[in-house]
Amino acid sequence: MTIQQLLKTAPVSTLLLVSFIGLFIIQVLLGVDANNPSTQALIYWGANALPLTMEDDPWRLVSSAFLHIGLMHLLFNGFAMYFFGQVAEPMFGSVKFLALFLLAAIGGNLLNNYVTWQGILDGSAQPGLSAGASGGIMGIGAALLIAALFKISVNGMVLNLKSLIFIMGINLVYGFAVPGIDNAGHIGGAITGLVIALGFVFAQRQRQGAQQQAIAEYQSALTNQLPIADPQVTDYNDPPLRDIFSDNTSQIPVNLEHDSASTVNNTDVNTTINYNNPAYVSVKPVAIKPVKISMIWQLLPWLMMLIVLIGFVWWWQDMHNQILQVLAANE
């Protein structure tokens, strides 16, 4: 897929890729080592750093998702975003896709900070930093897993569940096998994506059920209605139309030339039936009720994301207060 095709199919994914690459190029041009950036440079450019993120810089929960630690890290995450984005964005919609990525990135960073903070309290860990889009990408991958599990289609195709499980498994195994990988960030992002995806899936299943019911009602209405002779046809060499209708052996092929996707909202369907003779019969327009699902189902994905966001705010505030208490006790 070319960059033009990707921009048309998945504009947010394209912009995210451009932002990852653009930020990396700017860093290198300003003197940051392309393969081994220093701790000071990463903190300056917005890495997730404990305790800074949990004290006065909560914005690092988002900024760190656009920052990468070296060229290989960028290439790995860039390929994953390209692979997942062109599928997930058309399925969920561009705005929801962006919200999913950002929330999954925040969830991954929060879990990383929580695990690190608990390690500091029991003496098994030291303050550290993390960066990269991995948490957000794992959230997207987990959301696609849920969509595949519930057989939600994208562009008429159902996702391959086994392939997605294989790819997600590689990422998790790679994270545990290679030192320095933010496993907590991966897991936190994946869990966030799983939770949010449930809202998408349930809303989509309701919408698909309503569409199938509307199409069935449309087809039933076309089958049961009586055709009316075209008033412009006045001279027939064949038997009268009423004789054709009464002949049970007559072949009556029906050619419905319309797009099934537009059937649902079409209220003026002019269909012509050809009886293999000079007589043509016009079918009455069939009014089809537009597909509607209740407001709660339409808002469910957003409500799910709002609940997740509120939970993240509470989680950050709780750790923030704990850190302040410990710092105050040590003064």
What is the chain's pLDDT, residue by residue, as a tens digit (331 residues)?
A: 677 788 888 999 999 999 999 999 999 999 999 999 999 999 999 999 988 999 999 999 999 999 999 998 899 899 889 988 988 998 899 999 999 999 999 999 999 999 999 999 888 878 889 999 999 999 999 999 898 888 876 666 567 767 777 777 766 666 655 556 778 899 999 999 999 999 888 887 777 666 666 676 666 766 665 444 444 444 444 444 444 344 444 444 444 444 444 444 444 444 444 444 444 444 445 455 555 667 777 888 899 999 999 999 999 999 999 999 988 888 7
Dump the DSSP string for 157-185.
Answer: EE--HHHHHHHHHHHHHHHHHSTT--HHH
Active site residue 73: no
CB-CB contact of 68 with 77 (8 Å):
yes
Q: Of 63, 124, 134, 320, which is the active-site residue? A: 134
Q: Of 38, 64, 186, 262, which is the active-site residue? A: 186
Active site residue 186: yes
pTM (2 decimals)?
0.74
Kindly report whether the peptide bond that precedes residue 51 is cis, defined as omega within 30 degrees of 0.
Answer: yes
CB-CB contact of 134 with 72 (8 Å):
no
